[in-house]
Amino acid sequence: MDGLSEKELIEALLRYRGSGASLPVKNGDDAAVIEAGGKLLAVTTDALVQGVHFEFSYCPPKNAGIKAMESAASDVVAMGGKPSYALIALSAPSDLTQELIEELYGGLEASAKRIGCSIIGGNVVVSAAPLSLTVTVLGEIQGADLICTRAGARPGDLICISGELGRAAAGLRALQKGLPGFKVLERAFLEPRCRVDLVEKLAPVATSMIDISDGLSSELYHICDASVCGAVIDQDRLPTGEDLTELAAKSGSDPLALIFGGGEDYELLYTVHPEDRGAIAGYQIGTIEAEKGVRLKDKAGEVRELPRIGYDHFA
Pick between residue 129 and residue 228 the one whose CB is nearest to its own copies.
Answer: 129
Pick between residue 2 and residue 275 the one whose CB is nearest to its own copies.
Answer: 2
Least separation, in Å, of the C-beta of 244 and its own copies? 27
List the beta bridge partners of residue 36: 39
1-9, 216-224, 244-252, 305-313 -> range binding its own copies (CB under 8 A): 1-9
Residue 194, sorted as left (phi over 0), alpha (psi -120 to 50) or beta, turns out to be: beta
List the beta bridge partners of residue 83: 139
Instruction: Out of 125, 180, 300, 314, name the contact with its own copies by CB under 8 A.
Output: 125
Pick between residue 133 and residue 185 the one whose CB is nearest to its own copies.
Answer: 133
32-40, 157-165, 230-238, 264-272 -> range binding its own copies (CB under 8 A): 32-40
Pick between residue 50 and residue 217 the one whose CB is nearest to its own copies.
Answer: 50
Instruction: Out of 58, 60, 103, 136, name the contact with its own copies by CB under 8 A.
Output: 136
Q: What is the DSSP letter of 54?
A: B
- Binding residues for its own copies, how many (CB under 8 A)? 76
Asked if 226 and 149 count as a contact pair (C-beta separation under 8 A), the reply is yes
**Residue 220, interface with its own copies (CB under 8 A)?**
no
**Residue 127, interface with its own copies (CB under 8 A)?**
yes
DSSP 3-state of 287: strand
Pick between residue 10 and residue 290 the one whose CB is nearest to its own copies.
Answer: 10
Least separation, in Å, of the C-beta of 149 and its own copies? 13
**Residue 302, interface with its own copies (CB under 8 A)?**
no
Q: What is the rounded CA–CA span in Å between residue 139 and residue 133?
A: 19
DSSP 3-state of 76: helix
Pick between residue 32 and residue 306 the one whose CB is nearest to its own copies.
Answer: 32
What one-character-per-residue DSSP string does 193-252 give?
---GGGHHHHTTTEEEEEE-SS-HHHHHHHHHHHHT-EEEEEGGG----HHHHHHHHHTT
- Name which of residues 57 to 76 contact its own copies (CB under 8 A): none
Least separation, in Å, of the C-beta of 264 and its own copies? 14
Instruction: Out of 58, 60, 114, 122, name the contact with its own copies by CB under 8 A.
Output: 122
Instruction: Out of 58, 60, 96, 279, name the contact with its own copies by CB under 8 A.
Output: 96
Asked if 308 and 218 count as a contact pair (C-beta separation under 8 A), the reply is yes
Contacts of 13 (CB under 8 A, 6+ apart): none
16-24, 195-203, 237-245, 304-312 -> range binding its own copies (CB under 8 A): 16-24
DSSP 3-state of 114: helix
Asked if 70 and 109 count as a contact pair (C-beta separation under 8 A), the reply is no
Pick between residue 6 and residue 275 the one whose CB is nearest to its own copies.
Answer: 6
What is the rounded (10 degree) CA torsion for 8, 10, 16, 19?
-140
Instruction: Out of 61, 82, 83, 140, name the contact with its own copies by CB under 8 A.
Output: 140
130-138, 145-153, 247-255, 267-275 -> range binding its own copies (CB under 8 A): 130-138
Closest CA to 255 of 172, 187, 184, 167: 167
User: CA 235 from chain center: how many Å?
Assistant: 21
**Residue 278, interface with its own copies (CB under 8 A)?**
no
Longest dimension (CA), the chain: 57
Instruction: Out of 69, 73, 77, 90, name the contact with its own copies by CB under 8 A.
Output: 90
Alpha carbon distances (Å) from 156 to 58, 136, 146, 221, 301: 43, 36, 21, 17, 19
**Residue 151, interface with its own copies (CB under 8 A)?**
no
